[in-house]
Amino acid sequence: MIGSRLKLARAAAGLSLRELEARLHSLVTAQAIGKYERDEMMPSSTVLIALAQALGVAPDYLLKQSDLRVAQIEFRKKALTSAKEEASVRARVLDSVERYREVEELLAINGTWAPPKGFPRPVTTAEHGDQASSDLRQRWDLGVDPIPDLCALLEEHQIKVQVLDLPEDVSGLHAEVTTGSKQSIRTVVVNAKHPGERQRFTLAHELGHLLLRVPEGKEGEKLCHRFASALLMPAPTVVREIGARRHALPVRELFRLKVLFGVSAQAVAYRCRDLGIISEALFKSIFRLFGKKNWRRLEPNPLTAEKPVRYERLVMRALAENVIGESRAAELLGVSTWQLIEMLDSPPEESSDAEPSGV
């Protein structure tokens, strides 16, 4: 039966039943498509192929059965604008996790989530957030240096990272996907439209939601912000690089520190205030200057976005070991066979790697 798969693919494409009918040039009606989704009817082979083409998936995808489901999904900052938009994001998250899981299973890799020892833990104060970040760094042997590649770090610890086009006001989300055997797969999604420094902070913030038990609402968001800030800017390194007490902090220095820590210049200022390195008055004067220059929403010199590359690397490995063929590898990566062949014989480009959609 294809009902759940068809509905998932339609949601991922952001189409209503009538919009899909139009894409099919009225080959079948919206009512008939609804019956396919409820498994009340099966499409003919001609209609099945047409549905797959209209939705940008392979016919085999619609026929495949899956035991995955989104158990929980949490959006940061603002809710999506409509139920249709949220359904589309859910579907894309599930599709990406499903493809990721398939490759891991082919390579006999356990991709389920297990939190580090001592986590999750309750956090009710800013100091608790700082301590949690310090303890996590110790558990993951990170020392106190800046984290050069946050995507790689999360994926090393079995947290899937996805980059999706989201509404501008949605920074990111975290989701739990469960298997039929109740195993948990965790994924973090960041907005493809945002600069690298904002994406990195979102990744760290969503990691906080995975590892901390915080109060609901704004207070919980503040605590996850504090955890993210402390994780990306450990206090010993901040003091070493900036000093224990400063009476001035020039803009040029702030932007040098932005590059060092991989966060916004504003995040550096917040961290300095939280650690007592700068006064509240100096902090406010820095933000007044940023406001005058219209830098509050989008700073100059945005950092290059990090890219999750583990999924692509695993697909390449599966292909090289003859676990899958070229056509399947191309399908998993969301590229044509010719593009795949070019990718195999070329180094990745620094600015525009050929990444699979949503992974």
Spatial CB neighbours of 21, under 8 Å, sequence gap ≥ 6: 28, 29, 30, 33
Residues 265 and 299 sit within 8 Å (Cβ to Cβ): yes
Helix (H) or strand (E) holding 77: strand 69-77
- The whole-number pLDDT of residue 219 equals 94
- Judged against a pLDDT cut of 80, whether residue 357 lies above it is answered with no
Segment 13-22 mean pLDDT: 89
Give 356's DSSP letter. Answer: P
- The whole-number pLDDT of residue 351 equals 46
- The whole-number pLDDT of residue 355 equals 41
Domain covering 1-65 assigned CATH 1.10.260.40 in the classification: yes
The full set of domain ranges for the chain reads: 1-65
Query: What is the separation of C-alpha 128 from the centre of its chain, rounded to a whole number of angstroms?
Result: 25
Of residues 45 and 181, more confidence is placed in 45
Percent of the chain with pLDDT over 90: 63
- The whole-number pLDDT of residue 71 equals 67
Distance CA 141, CA 139 (A): 6
Give the model's confidence band at 77: pLDDT under 50 very low, under 70 low, under 90 confident, else very high.
low
- Quick one: tokens of 18? 């009538």
Give the model's confidence band at 315: pLDDT under 50 very low, under 70 low, under 90 confident, else very high.
very high
Percent of the chain with pLDDT over 70: 94
Spatial CB neighbours of 244, under 8 Å, sequence gap ≥ 6: 277
Cis peptide before 120 (omega within 30 of 0): yes
- Judged against a pLDDT cut of 80, whether residue 181 lies above it is answered with no
Segment 166-174 mean pLDDT: 85
- Judged against a pLDDT cut of 80, whether residue 82 lies above it is answered with no
Q: What is the pLDDT of residues 218-258, one digit of tens each?
A: 999 999 999 999 999 999 999 999 999 999 999 999 999 99
Least Cα distance to 6 among 103, 41, 25 occurs for 41
Q: What is the CB neighbour count within 10 angstroms for residue 173?
A: 26
Q: What is the pLDDT of residues 334-353, one digit of tens each?
A: 899 999 999 999 998 764 44
- Judged against a pLDDT cut of 90, whether residue 57 lies above it is answered with no
Mean of per-residue pLDDT scores for the chain: 89
Q: What is the pLDDT of residues 182-210, one digit of tens each?
A: 788 999 999 999 999 999 999 999 999 99
Distance CA 164, CA 246 (A): 40
Least confident of 94-98, 270-274, 286-290: 94-98
Segment 21-29 mean pLDDT: 91
Q: What is the pLDDT of residues 27-49, one digit of tens each?
A: 999 999 999 989 899 999 899 99
Least Cα distance to 71 among 100, 94, 102 occurs for 94
- The whole-number pLDDT of residue 203 equals 96
Residues 46 and 92 sit within 8 Å (Cβ to Cβ): no
- Quick one: tokens of 225? 């912000």
Q: What is the CB neighbour count within 10 angstroms for residue 48?
A: 17
Distance CA 2, CA 241 (A): 58
